[in-house]
Structure 1
């Protein structure tokens, strides 16, 4: 699906996890009933098409002891008895329809690979951009900026509903903030998505005004508010 098709297809972004796991990321999907999930070391994201007791039952069967399910849905989840909400938040979903305002990539940007995962995990632990596991790298292209042996900024690709790819894990070491690294890496990831005939999108917390301004300056625009719900079975 190309960018020219994206306007009619944006419904896939209403539940981007389900759309990805039933589409381009189907090879990663676990589950055969009404629910799907990514492997735990890839992402905590799970999904179902229609919220129902049956779907929650299938979801529970996919979770190991102590595991939580993270869902992105059009509205906050009200789970059935036997489940508890661990965390809930509203996110803004932004889409970049055109590449005309994207910044050039930093000259020092490099493609990150499996040998960089320990540094990526360390940066994520410090900067807290969102969930990132030992195998999240398998979801797409990741790039970063290094200072010597230390990774100081990165960004990459995560969810891939048909026609779209999410820009994610945008983070910068606190000592290197204010240099525009996050913006330029975001732009370079988005540029790579456009080059494949796809449309970049991302999520940001509503109160993260600084990040939102950066993304809007790059050409991203708010499409919708979407609900993040992190849920666990009672006793899990």
Structure 2
């Protein structure tokens, strides 16, 4: 099931053009995302290839369910995630949303730094379509698409400036991003921290279904 191994599914599928590859190991360019993709049941050779791909002391993150990390890698920490898939009636147009582009990246990075929705880097915007809401010219909220799998696309970087929270902007942008995903024939899905009760409450009210309990494993090649 590719939702249990989303990075590998993306880098072997719709995002293959971005993959940095050694053997069966895959990674996104570090300016795009910090993620490493490994086969469902990696061999010792696969791990050796991953170590070569990262380089000595090189770090990356794996997104999988509970997963055994070999001694050839240093495990920095695990982060508990939950994964949700969207209901069919989620997509909805949002007139206030605008498509964000490369020129908007500095503002997007500043908003991410303020709100910490998860990894978003200088080239992450190349992975999908990002929508934003501006007020008086200021970018105050955004959401977009990151991992593209054969049957699913991830909604990511959902964030709202603290001064504008509580106005339903995240809800509206999630639905607008879902409407974009619907045009591709894929199903929206997303991840959030297992302790992020506010986000989980929002996704439940939008009708999302819990799909998997996931781990982000932060690794370093020895």
- Answer whether TM exceeds 0.5 for this pair: yes
Paired with 1:61 and 1:82, the residues of 2 have a C-alpha distance of 11
Which stretch shows the higher mean deviation, 67-76 or 183-192? 67-76
1:13-65 Cα distance to aligned partner (Å, 9 max, x none): 11000001001111111113020001111111111102333222111212256
Q: How does 1:20-35 map to 2 (within 5 A)?
A: 20-35=10-25
Which stretch shows the higher mean deviation, 154-163 or 57-66? 57-66
Kept after mapping to 2: 8 A contact 1:155/1:171: yes
Paired with 2:164 and 2:142, the residues of 1 have a C-alpha distance of 12
Paired with 1:35 and 1:233, the residues of 2 have a C-alpha distance of 13
Kept after mapping to 2: 8 A contact 1:102/1:219: no
Q: Which residue of 1 aligns with 2:159?
A: 171
State the secondary structure of the residue aligned to 2:21: coil
State the secondary structure of the residue aligned to 2:84: strand
CA deviation after TM superposition for structure 1 residue 204, in Å = 1.3
1:156 equivalent in alignment to 2:147: no
Kept after mapping to 2: 8 A contact 1:155/1:168: yes
Q: Which residue of 2 aligns with 1:225?
A: 213
Paired with 1:34 and 1:102, the residues of 2 have a C-alpha distance of 35
Q: How does 1:112-127 map to 2 (within 5 A)?
A: 112-127=100-115
TM-score, structure 2 length as denominator? 0.94
1:67 equivalent in alignment to 2:58: yes
Identify the match of residue 55 of structure 1 among 23, 46, 59: 46
State the secondary structure of the residue aligned to 2:217: strand
Q: How does 1:126-137 map to 2 (within 5 A)?
A: 126-137=114-125
Aligned residue pairs total 221
TM-score, structure 1 length as denominator? 0.88
1:122-141 Cα distance to aligned partner (Å, 9 max, x none): 11111101111110001110
Q: Which residue of 2 aligns with 1:4?
A: none
Paired with 2:178 and 2:122, the residues of 1 have a C-alpha distance of 23
Which stretch shows the higher mean deviation, 208-217 or 63-72? 63-72
Q: What are the ranges of 5 or more consecutive residues in structure 2 without an aligned counterpart?
A: none
Q: What are the ranges of 5 or more consecutive residues in structure 1 without an aligned counterpart?
A: 1-10
CA deviation after TM superposition for structure 1 residue 104, in Å = 4.5
1:90-140 Cα distance to aligned partner (Å, 9 max, x none): 211100141x244542x3211000000000011111110111111000111
Q: Which residue of 2 aligns with 1:211?
A: 199
| Consecutive aligned runs of 4 or more in structure 1 exceeding 3 Å deviation | 64-67, 101-104
Q: Which residue of 1 aligns with 2:128?
A: 140
* C-alpha RMSD of matched pairs (Å): 1.5
Q: How does 1:187-206 map to 2 (within 5 A)?
A: 187-206=175-194
Q: Which residue of 2 aligns with 1:82?
A: 72
Kept after mapping to 1: 8 A contact 2:8/2:26: yes
Give the direction of change, closer, same or farther, for the CA distance of 1:64–1:95 in structure 2 (3 Å limit).
same
Kept after mapping to 1: 8 A contact 2:28/2:35: yes
Kept after mapping to 1: 8 A contact 2:91/2:182: no
CA deviation after TM superposition for structure 1 residue 212, in Å = 1.2
